[in-house]
């Protein structure tokens, strides 16, 4: 309940400012018009996806922990009271539990498709668990340890282990099937190419059994008269120019090109438009006569594909970044609360108006998010759309505002975005205002590929900021350098990279603040 209360307090603290700002300066957003077929898809309720890789990894950990607890529990309940405590048993239990996980992996039962079934996974699991005990008995006999091992403990461990594993798999089967019904395990896919090749590809994907590919529809780069209205039952949703807007209104996991490799010019033109999306982009090779080595392909069932772009920070990387943001961000927020209290008091005493300022900015995949800051402008001159950039000696900035903007203390409330709302990260490309401009051009009009920096969640600090590209954006070089450094961060992300940027931020605020006004 505490995070919800804190979030409500934040919204209430900024609501007065927002009402005034939106009344004076209504926000205008450019949205591309989609076809009725595309709108029908985007209007469907879609839940967030679960990563099969993370699910399988979590099941591995759960198997090891459960089997270890069963073995230790039986040992402490029966063997220890009679024979005393022996570390050899604990080592044997850990070894047998680990061996079970390895055998399950070798039996290939750590797959979401297998979790959905029942007979096959149960048979393989029981066989693998039995093999582990046969190996343990064989090793005990070889080293003449059979007389020292409790037979009751060993048999109890075996049968209780089987029972718990079966119950666990039945519960997992129920959960996985529920997730599948909700679409959380689907890879929502769009096909590029509304022609015979596209139709063949859709048919090949739909005829595969137990596939996680969910084809939403097809797009094409040609006029309607030169492309098919439906491909194997999948409707044409629009032209390739519509894909970016479509992907920002609904969840897309995979873009699959049905064009042959020989259509190089067309493919390159379309990739220039689509690479800014945080999705996997692949080129289907199902109709290509030119064949590469099998290792060159990745497969969607039996359909060979060539990887072109991969979505950044996925699966376990996404879990690690989420934990880093919540744990480290929570600790930083606790440490910063006294400073934030002093800044809030200074802002309140310096000029009339609310303490917090809320502004619409670009978030992950171009979603619009509310970002919190301490108010640094006079209340009656607030600029929620950033239509006018703050410049040196700007008369709109308050006395306290100059200090907190120079030191970036005005950004501290964004820790609430990280910890409570989760729409910001500690480290990432800085979220620019929706109407942020360079001269009379919006940022995405000034820099090619600008929206590619939105393939990951934005951050409070970033690689561009610690390298001096922060503050006022008044030249082409400044926005181009920001994008360049942001894209480097996205392509080279790691937890250690995040930690390095975070540790370098305080010193960079002191030495590289010449553009911050």
- In a domain, residue 393? The reply is yes
Q: Answer yes or no: is pLDDT of 27 > 70.
A: no
Output the pLDDT for position 3: 42
From 292, 311, 330, give the residue that closes a domain.
311
- Percent pLDDT > 90 in the chain is 45
From 181, 196, 217, give the residue that closes a domain.
181
Q: How deeply is 28 buried, as exposed, middle or buried, from its count of CB atoms within 10 A (0-12, 13-18, 19+)?
A: exposed
Output the pLDDT for position 116: 86
Cβ proximity of 158 and 67 under 8 Å: no
d(CA 45, CA 31): 20
Output the pLDDT for position 319: 95
Cβ proximity of 307 and 284 under 8 Å: no
| Number of Cβ atoms within 10 Å of the Cβ of 208 | 13
- In a domain, residue 296? The reply is yes
Q: Answer yes or no: is pLDDT of 334 > 50.
A: yes
Predicted confidence (pLDDT) per residue in 204-238, tens digit: 898 887 788 999 999 988 877 777 888 888 999 99
* Model confidence band, residue 262 (pLDDT cutoffs 50, 70, 90): confident
Output the pLDDT for position 38: 92
Predicted confidence (pLDDT) per residue in 102-132, tens digit: 999 999 999 998 998 878 889 999 999 999 9
Specify whether 57 is located in the same domain as 44: no
469: nearest Cα among 432, 510, 513, 407: 513
d(CA 217, CA 478): 40
- In a domain, residue 116? The reply is yes
Output the pLDDT for position 441: 73
Output the pLDDT for position 162: 94
Output the pLDDT for position 384: 65
Q: Please state, rounded to an integer, the average pLDDT across all residues of the chain.
A: 85
Give the DSSP per-residue string, 31-68: -PPPPHHHHHHHTS--PPP--HHHHHHHHHHHHHHHHH
Which of 68-82, 285-299, 426-440, 469-483 reaches the highest mean pLDDT? 68-82
Specify whether 321 is located in the same domain as 464: yes
Cβ proximity of 429 and 479 under 8 Å: no
Specify whether 271 is located in the same domain as 140: no
* Model confidence band, residue 97 (pLDDT cutoffs 50, 70, 90): very high
- In a domain, residue 98? The reply is yes
Instruction: Report the number of distinct structural domains present in the chain.
Output: 3
Output the pLDDT for position 517: 52
What mean pLDDT comes out for the span 488-507? 94
Cβ proximity of 183 and 189 under 8 Å: no
* Least-confidence region, from 3-12, 127-136, 465-474: 3-12
Give the DSSP per-residue string, 383-421: -TT--S---TT-TTB-HHHHHHHHTTGGGTTHHHIIIII
Output the pLDDT for position 158: 93
Predicted confidence (pLDDT) per residue in 168-177, tens digit: 999 999 999 9
- In a domain, residue 337? The reply is yes
Q: Answer yes or no: is pLDDT of 383 > 70.
A: no
CATH code, domain carrying 258: 3.40.50.720
Predicted confidence (pLDDT) per residue in 272-325, tens digit: 889 999 999 999 887 665 566 666 678 888 888 888 999 999 999 999 999 999
- In a domain, residue 365? The reply is yes
User: Which H or E run includes 161?
Assistant: helix 151-181
Specify whether 60 is located in the same domain as 172: yes
Specify whether 269 is located in the same domain as 342: no
Specify whether 192 is located in the same domain as 163: no
Specify whether 256 is located in the same domain as 335: no
Specify whether 421 is located in the same domain as 487: yes
* Model confidence band, residue 256 (pLDDT cutoffs 50, 70, 90): very high
Domain around 236: 36-49+186-311
From 125, 149, 181, give the residue that closes a domain.
181
Output the pLDDT for position 188: 94
Specify whether 260 is located in the same domain as 358: no
* Least-confidence region, from 259-268, 282-291, 395-404: 282-291
Specify whether 306 is located in the same domain as 430: no
Specify whether 400 is located in the same domain as 474: yes
Specify whether 489 is located in the same domain as 349: yes
Predicted confidence (pLDDT) per residue in 476-494, tens digit: 788 888 899 999 999 999 9
Output the pLDDT for position 514: 60
What mean pLDDT comes out for the span 415-439? 87
- In a domain, residue 517? The reply is no
Backbone angles phi, psi at 39, to 5 degrees: -65, -35
- In a domain, residue 516? The reply is no
Output the pLDDT for position 223: 74
């Amino acid at each position: 309940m505490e995070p919800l209360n804190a979030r409500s307090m934040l919204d209430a603290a900024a609501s007065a400012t927002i009402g005034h700002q939106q009344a004076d300066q209504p926000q205008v957003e450019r949205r591309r018009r989609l076809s009725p077929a595309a709108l029908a898809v985007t209007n469907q309720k879609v839940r967030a996806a679960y990563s099969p890789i993370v699910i399988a990894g979590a099941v591995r950990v759960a198997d090891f922990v459960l089997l270890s607890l069963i073995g230790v529990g039986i040992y402490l309940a029966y063997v220890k009271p009679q024979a005393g405590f022996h570390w050899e048993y604990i080592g044997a239990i850990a070894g047998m539990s680990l061996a079970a996980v390895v055998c399950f992996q070798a039996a290939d039962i750590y797959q979401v498709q297998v979790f959905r079934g029942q007979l096959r996974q149960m048979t393989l699991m029981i066989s693998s668990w039995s093999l582990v005990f046969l190996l343990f008995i064989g090793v005990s006999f070889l080293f003449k340890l059979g007389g020292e091992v409790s037979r009751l403990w060993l048999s109890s461990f075996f049968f209780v282990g089987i029972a718990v594993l079966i119950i666990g798999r039945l519960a997992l089967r129920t959960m996985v099937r529920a997730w599948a019904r909700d679409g959380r395990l689907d890879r929502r896919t769009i096909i590029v190419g509304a022609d015979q090749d596209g139709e063949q590809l859709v048919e090949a994907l739909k005829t595969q059994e137990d596939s996680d590919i969910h084809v939403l529809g097809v797009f094409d780069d040609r006029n309607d008269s030169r492309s098919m209205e439906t491909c194997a039952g999948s409707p044409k949703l629009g032209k390739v120019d519509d894909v970016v807007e479509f992907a920002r209104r609904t969840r897309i996991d995979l873009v699959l090109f049905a064009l042959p490799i020989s259509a190089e010019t067309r493919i390159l033109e379309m990739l220039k438009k689509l690479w800014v999306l945080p999705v996997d982009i692949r080129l289907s090779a199902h109709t290509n006569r030119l064949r590469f080595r099998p290792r060159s392909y990745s497969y969607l069932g039996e359909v060979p594909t060539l990887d072109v772009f991969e979505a950044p920070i996925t699966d376990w990387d996404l879990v690690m970044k989420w934990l880093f943001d919540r744990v480290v961000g929570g600790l930083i927020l606790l440490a910063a609360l006294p400073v934030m209290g002093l800044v809030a008091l200074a802002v309140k005493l310096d000029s009339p108006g609310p303490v917090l300022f809320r502004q619409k900015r670009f978030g992950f995949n171009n979603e619009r998010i509310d970002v919190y800051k301490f108010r640094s402008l006079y209340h009656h001159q607030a600029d929620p759309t950033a239509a006018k950039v703050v410049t040196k000696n700007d008369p709109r900035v308050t006395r306290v505002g100059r200090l907190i903007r120079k030191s970036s203390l005005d950004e501290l409330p964004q820790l609430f975005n990280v910890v409570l709302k989760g729409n910001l990260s500690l480290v990432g490309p800085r979220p620019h205002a929706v109407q942020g401009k360079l001269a009379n051009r919006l940022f995405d009009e000034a820099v090619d590929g600008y929206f590619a920096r939105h393939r990951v969640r934005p951050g409070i600090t970033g690689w561009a900021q610690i390298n001096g590209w922060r503050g006022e954006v008044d030249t082409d070089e400044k926005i181009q350098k920001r994008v360049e450094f942001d894209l480097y961060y996205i392509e080279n992300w790691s937890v250690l990279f995040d930690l390095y940027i975070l540790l370098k931020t305080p010193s960079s605020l002191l030495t590289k603040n010449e553009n911050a006004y």
